[in-house]
A = this chain, B = another copy of it.
């Protein structure tokens, strides 16, 4: 099909939207390593996981075999409120770069949560409601996940308790207010509402918190409160499953116009966006039906893929969660204070870690000043103010498009634009004022943080 017939934005019809999530693990020869009980070091069972998670989600977490899991009607109805998201042909960006490459981005930011997180939030809230629970607990860092979950819970009439990393709670009061508008209770973490929080406050008075600690607090409250379970917005297998809707829509939109992707690029923190975006493409790759270059982009300040170790590690600071085998920087690792935006988790999804270890994808890391430079460039050219997280993918997509300019190749580059930056204006302000800095952890820092890996 000729170039000119491809619209700026490809929207699927309702009838073309995915009816089932796709589970990459079913096509993996080497399955991701199982979650381990931190006490017994034995693989977690559905029963054990169900203390923390809803039962249906515990099943999804451990299901390495079912290839397609039908999306329940109630979730499909909710998806209709903000999906399909557009697959945008970046005509303006291509022209500005003078590249023969064709650039496409899947834009997940056009919903009030401002990111793709809503795709899994509604799924997790739905299964909690179906199980008859009263509410759920979670942690949030930059606030996108907490916002998404509060929207989903509000829609279904579930209570929502969010532990928000204290520095974000203070720096992002607007995110907090969006969550409150959706009826969630938001507590800065560490807090005195949990044992983990009180212990940490006693040991480190004045701490501004971390994701790992907020997770521990949320899990403690979920396990200790009747009718509550814990939910998590990234890293987990179940999250990648729900987020496969991103990739399935992307592939359907490309297929509709006969476009074959050459390179697929996603930012990677815990892996929720990347795992969702690449899912059906990776499926074809795993089954030997097609080949794609798949690139994970992470911050140089939190480089789990590119500088971490592939090993079993704790998922949280309080060590109350199961152990996961993943590329990790150690559960105590916290990015330097100048790190803006998300992508700050110390580990990476077990599924993606296994795929990376098996050579099915590449990973690269970028510094945040160059990320914000790409963000500003993109904002001006494409008219969308991107989230700092998404801008990691933008940076590498631009780099790849410029390589095509050198070689003259008209490659199809697809990247995930996970969200908008409206709540990240402090970071943009620092960039606008020339005050943004970079920090790359030293080998020593990472080695030290890895010393506490559990003995498995």
Contacts and interface: CB of A to CB of B under 8 A. Distances in A.
Interface of A: 7-9, 11, 13-14, 78, 80-82, 92, 110-112, 114, 151, 154-155, 173-174, 177-178, 180-183, 376, 379-385, 420, 422-423, 425, 428-429, 431-432
A429 B173 contact: yes
Given A92-B81, A174-B425, A384-B112, A432 B379 contact: no
Given A112-B420, A423-B422, A81 B382 contact: yes
A181 B422 contact: no
Contacts of A376: 181
Given A8-B14, A428-B177, A182 B380 contact: yes
A383 B181 contact: no
Given A177-B425, A180-B432, A432-B177, A155 B380 contact: yes
29 contacts: A7-B14, A7-B80, A8-B14, A8-B80, A11-B11, A78-B383, A82-B383, A110-B110, A112-B379, A112-B383, A112-B384, A151-B380, A151-B383, A155-B381, A155-B383, A173-B425, A173-B429, A174-B174, A174-B422, A174-B425, A177-B429, A178-B425, A181-B428, A181-B431, A181-B432, A182-B380, A183-B380, A422-B422, A422-B423
Nearest to A112: B385
A182 B422 CA distance: 13
A82 B88 CA distance: 10
Interface centre among A112, A182, A379, A423 (most CB of B within 10 A): A112
Given A155-B381, A174-B425, 16 more contacts: A7-B80, A8-B14, A8-B81, A9-B80, A81-B382, A112-B383, A112-B384, A112-B420, A154-B380, A155-B380, A177-B432, A178-B425, A178-B428, A181-B376, A183-B380, A422-B422
How many copies of the chain does the oligomer comprise? 2
A83 to B, nearest CB: 9
Contacts of A178: 385, 422, 425, 428
Contacts of A110: 110
Contacts of A384: 111-112
Contacts of A432: 177, 180-181
Contacts of A425: 173-174, 177-178
Contacts of A431: 181
A177 B428 CA distance: 7
Nearest to A427: B177
A131 to B, nearest CB: 22
A433 to B, nearest CB: 9
Nearest to A109: B110
* A-B complex: 8 closest residue pairs judged by Cβ atoms: A174-B425, A177-B425, A8-B80, A422-B422, A112-B385, A81-B383, A154-B380, A177-B429
B151 A181 contact: no
